[in-house]
Amino acid sequence: MKVNNKKALAIAILIPLAVGGLSALLSGGMDIYSRINKPSFAPPGILFPIVWAILYVLMGISSYMIYESMSPNKESALQIYGLQLFFNFFWSIFFFRFEWFLFSFVWLLALIVLIAVMIRRFYLIKPLAGYLQIPYLLWCMFAAYLNFMIYRLN
């Protein structure tokens, strides 16, 4: 990947990191995760900020690739990107702050659909940009399963 605009790349990476950081701050954090009933396959709480930081960086790189493209479809692809970031932002708040486990699960299913749409649109513009979003999709699918199991146990 050739970087033509380092400032735009930095901003593209900082946007999802800021969204995720603010969401984590407003959600109340992992203290709730430590006290709720979880299935045996639930990862330790320390893993989440590490995984999310990596995913947010990949999101930023991917969105930068679309932003820098000359595709006439980049605006609609970036709108879907923004919409999925909105859903991503509120999921943690619904789950951790309000402990709306079933609602959070449904919200996460909607987020997964948005991610799939975004991947498709990104892929059609720049395949690597779509591929960089696949770990995010997989992680959210795992998170949905974990979310549903937490709903059942609590």
The pLDDT-based confidence of 2 (bands split at 50, 70, 90) is confident
Lookup: tokens for 47: 């893993």
pLDDT in tens, 6-56: 999 999 999 999 999 999 999 986 688 889 999 999 999 999 999 999 999
- The pLDDT assigned to 92 comes to 95
CATH class of 6-153: mainly alpha
- The pLDDT assigned to 3 comes to 75
Q: List the domain boundaries for the chain.
A: 6-153
Average pLDDT, the chain: 96
Spatial distance between the Cα atoms of 30 and 17, rounded to a whole number of angstroms:
17
Torsion sign across C-alpha atoms 145, 151, 153, 154: positive
What are the angstrom distances between the C-alpha of 43 and each of 48, 51, 75, 122, 143? 8, 11, 37, 30, 10
